[in-house]
Structures are given as structure tokens and as C-alpha cells.
């Protein structure tokens, strides 16, 4: 399959990035400084991710609000124009087909942001226009992200958490949202491709560290944030993933609602659980979770936590497990000792 390329592909290559396929795109995994360095730059200062591979489906018109209300789990009545909302797109069986951020740009305009591989299916469900190819998206994240961005684009730096604003950069219209995927503060900027390189270059000149998919994954894992195809996907409902707050059962009907009603009656059969290792051994997706000699589940995501200095994993566990239980994560003959902990693994860095 031919891979799509971000308009910043040449910039990544000039900076020595290791490029890999991801969701049908060629994207940077890491730069020469390495994933660990990029991870800690986000926790301690600021980084910029090229997330142009994420989809954007623009939907507008007087019926757009109701279309999204019927299609997704969360209730747009909780927010208003100029705000963003995290939501789920379900199958009829209650499985999370995709997790999505909705940017409510103006009264009758929404930018719906699905995962890269799900853009076509989301568009087929809600209609709208796929505008992914016309824009780039840069995510500026970290405790100093707003200060560094504010050196040359103070209006964007002022967009607050989960707010959305239409602004101008270098003479073109951009959309800025106070969203991200790292557990740190920051913004995401949708910029026309014609100005994407200029925005990226100015961020780097302001001292923002370029970061790739490797750091994005370890950051979101430490922050306990789900990844589609891992914590979310076929057979996994919002309640199993510990994301019941994303579901507004009292807003009226939506795709998959009846399946969730039935699940609530009987109770979720399994639950997401955090596991923190006792050593630096990285935990890995697919490892079996053993509790009191019995296999009770498996790791949906796992890695080494640069902040905690130990392996961590999110696991789907039959019946769930309380915090503080000793467990093993096992793959073949290899076992890693761990303990169940609350999610997220870390809060804000001091």
C-alpha cells in the first residue's frame, strides 16, 4: 500500500527522523536524540508533534448538531461553540469503533477528528467533508509549551484547555484547540499546508523540541490515555475501558446505546487496570496477567515509563482487580512482577 506523506515529511528527514508507517502514513518515530529524550522534554519543557495523520471531517449546517448527537456517545449539550469534547463512535454491539475529539468551531460547524485509519468509516456515518489532505496539525505540548508558542503566536497560546478558536497565522486562517494526548498542557493547531513548515520552523526556533510517535505513545501511556486498537476496539466497550464518563445515556438515542444499556444491567465482564512493575523491565502488549496463579487478562499496552523508571501496562482484566494486588505479567517463560495501581500512572510533573 502506498503511504501518505505529511507536508512536513521533508522537515522530519532534514532533522534526521526515523520514519515509519503508521495508520497508512509515513510519520517520524523519533529524532536523533531518541524517544527517552523527547519524552522528558515534553514532561519538563515542550515538544511539537506532527499529527497530520489524524483525520478531520468537517460537518456543517443546521442538522450537524443532531447528526453528531445520534452518532456519538457524549452529549454536545454539555459544551458550546468554541469548545472541544472527547467522545466515542460505537458499533451496534457497543464496541468502540473509534474515539474522537470534536472541535465545535462555530454554531453550525464542527471539525470531527477521528484516528487515522478510521476517517473514511466516520465520514460514512456522519457525512461531511474529509479535509485531512488540506491541512496539517501540530501538537505543542508540555509545561512550557504556551510560553514558547507565545513568543510569536500569543493568541494561540492563550486558547485554554478544551477551548477552540479561529485565528490568523502568517495571513491564513487556522483553528487552535486546547487539546493534546500527553497528559501535559498545550494546544493543537490545524494550519493550511502552505504555512505548516513556517509554523513548525518557528516552533523549533523558539526552543520547542520535535518529537515522534515513540514519545507520543509512552507519554499517553503514562497519562493513562487509551489508544484505539489497544484499550479501545472490537469487543471493548467504554465501560470496560473505564471511560463511562464519555457516555451520556440520558441524552436520547445514539448508535450502540441499547448494547450499553444491556451491559450496565449485567455489569461489565472485564475492566481496564493499571499495572506498575517492580523493575525496569518494559511490559509489552499481549502479555498475560496472572493473579494468584490464574490467568485473568492481558496487557493492551505496555512499555517502560521514563518518569517512574519501571515497566507499566494497561490491562483488561476479567472482573477487574482492586488497587494494591500483586500480579505477574507473563510472556512465554518470561514473567515480570507488578502491582495494580490507579490510572493514570502519573499526574502533572512538578
In the chain, what are the domains?
A: 4-55+132-222 (3.30.1360.120), 57-128+237-266 (3.30.70.1400)
Q: What pLDDT does 115 receive? A: 92
Residue entry with cell 450499553 = 260
Q: Is 287 within 8 Å of 329 (Cβ atoms)?
A: yes
Q: What are phi and psi of 203, to 5 degrees?
A: -65, -45
Q: What pLDDT does 27 receive? A: 98
Tell me the angle at which helices 35-44 and 213-222 cross, rounded to the nearest 10 degrees. 50
Residue 159 grid coordinates: 486558547
Count other C-beta atoms under 10 Å from residue 309's C-beta: 10
Nearest to 275 by CA among 237, 308, 234: 308
Q: What is the pLDDT along the chain (350 residues), one digit of tens a residue?
A: 689 999 999 999 999 999 999 989 999 999 999 999 999 999 999 999 999 999 999 999 999 999 999 999 999 999 999 999 999 999 999 999 999 999 999 999 999 999 988 999 999 999 999 999 999 999 999 999 999 999 999 999 999 999 999 999 999 999 999 999 999 999 999 999 999 999 999 999 999 999 999 999 999 999 999 999 999 999 999 999 999 999 999 999 999 999 999 999 999 999 999 999 999 999 999 999 999 999 999 999 999 999 999 999 999 999 999 999 999 999 999 999 999 999 999 975 43
Radius of gyration of the chain, Cα coordinates, nearest whole angstrom: 20
SS3 200: helix
Burial class (CB in 10 A: 0-12, 13-18, 19+), 251: middle
SS3 128: coil
Q: Is 244 within 8 Å of 77 (Cβ atoms)?
A: no
Q: What pLDDT does 90 receive? A: 98
Amino acid at each position: 500500500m502506498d503511504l501518505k506523506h505529511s507536508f512536513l515529511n521533508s522537515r522530519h528527514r532534514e532533522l534526521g527522523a526515523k520514519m515509519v508507517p503508521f495508520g497508512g502514513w509515513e510519520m517520524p518515530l523519533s529524532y536523533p536524540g531518541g524517544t527517552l529524550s523527547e519524552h522528558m522534554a515534553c514532561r519538563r519543557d515542550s515538544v511539537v508533534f506532527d499529527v497530520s495523520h489524524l483525520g478531520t471531517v468537517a460537518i456543517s449546517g443546521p442538522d450537524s448538531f443532531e447528526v453528531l448527537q445520534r452518532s456519538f456517545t457524549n452529549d454536545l449539550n454539555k459544551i458550546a461553540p468554541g469548545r472541544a469534547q472527547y467522545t466515542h463512535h460505537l458499533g451496534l454491539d457497543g464496541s468502540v469503533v473509534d474515539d474522537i475529539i470534536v472541535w465545535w468551531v462555530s454554531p453550525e460547524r464542527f471539525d470531527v477528528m477521528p484516528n487515522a485509519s478510521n476517517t473514511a468509516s466516520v465520514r460514512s456515518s456522519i457525512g461531511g467533508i474529509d479535509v485531512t489532505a488540506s491541512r496539517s496539525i501540530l501538537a505543542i505540548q508540555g509545561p512550557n509549551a504556551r510560553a514558547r508558542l507565545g513568543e510569536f503566536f500569543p493568541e494561540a497560546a492563550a486558547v485554554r484547555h478544551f477551548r477552540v478558536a479561529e485565528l490568523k497565522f502568517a495571513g491564513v486562517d487556522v483553528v487552535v484547540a486546547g487539546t493534546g494526548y500527553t497528559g501535559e498542557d498545550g494546544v493543537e493547531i490545524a494550519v493550511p499546508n502552505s504555512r505548516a513548515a513556517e509554523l513548525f520552523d518557528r516552533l523549533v526556533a523558539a526552543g520547542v523540541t520535535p518529537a515522534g510517535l515513540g514519545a507520543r505513545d509512552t507519554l499517553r501511556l503514562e497519562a493513562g490515555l487509551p489508544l484505539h486498537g489497544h484499550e479501545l476496539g472490537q469487543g471493548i466497550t467504554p465501560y470496560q475501558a473505564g471511560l463511562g464518563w464519555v457516555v451520556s445515556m440520558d441524552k436520547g438515542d445514539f448508535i450502540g446505546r441499547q448494547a450499553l444499556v444491556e451491559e450496565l444491567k449485567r455489569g461489565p465482564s472485564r475492566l481496564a487496570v493499571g499495572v506498575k512493575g517492580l523493575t525496569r523491565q518494559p511490559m509489552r502488549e499481549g502479555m498475560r496477567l496472572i493473579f494468584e496463579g490464574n490467568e485473568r487478562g492481558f496487557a493492551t499496552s505496555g512499555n517502560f515509563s521514563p518518569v517512574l523508571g519501571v515497566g507499566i501496562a494497561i490491562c483488561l482484566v476479567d472482573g477487574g482487580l482492586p488497587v494494591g494486588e500483586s500480579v505477574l505479567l507473563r510472556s512465554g517463560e518470561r514473567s515480570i512482577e507488578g502491582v495494580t495501581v490507579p490510572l493514570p500512572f502519573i499526574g502533572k510533573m512538578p
